[in-house]
């Protein structure tokens, strides 16, 4: 983005205007946000109150990476939710997966 374009956008936002509509649908902007913002910060996967008991889990995505967050005996753990051998998601949705 040129300095001129940036200044025009900043001025428009200062007047209370929204971002240009194509910013919400352009795949190139989405990909840039994934790399420049979401891969560098904490990401929301789901509500902590659904992870009260050992074995409770929720699945979601951090950018385009599938993850599972599970409550274990020592706290919360987050893992990439992909089988290394078959390259598919291991857990689906949310629930409780007790170990026996």
Please tell me what DSSP assigns to residue 96.
Answer: E
CATH 2.102.10.10 domain range(s) in the chain: 48-96
pLDDT at 84: 85
pLDDT at 60: 93
pLDDT tens string 24-74: 999 999 888 888 887 788 888 999 999 999 999 999 988 788 999 999 999
pLDDT at 53: 96
Closest CA relative to residue 80, chosen from 94, 99, 95, 59: 59
> DSSP for 26-93?
-HHHHHHHHHHTGGGS----S-GGG--STTEEEEEEETTEEEEEEEETTEEEEEE---TTT-S-S--S
Task: Tell me which of 2.40.10.120, 3.90.79.10, 2.102.10.10, 3.40.50.620 is the CATH number of domain 48-96.
Answer: 2.102.10.10
**pTM of the predicted protein model:** 0.67
Tokens 């390259």, residue located: 87
């Amino acid at each position: 983005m040129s300095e001129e374009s940036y200044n025009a956008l900043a001025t428009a936002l200062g007047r209370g205007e929204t971002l240009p509509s194509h910013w919400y649908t352009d795949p190139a902007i989405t990909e840039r946000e994934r790399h420049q913002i979401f891969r560098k910060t904490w990401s929301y996967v789901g509500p902590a109150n659904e992870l009260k008991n050992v074995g409770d889990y929720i699945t979601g995505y951090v950018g385009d990476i599938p993850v599972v967050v599970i409550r274990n005996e020592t706290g919360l753990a987050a893992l990439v939710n992909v089988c290394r051998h078959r390259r598919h998601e291991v857990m689906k949705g949310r629930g409780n997966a007790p170990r026996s």
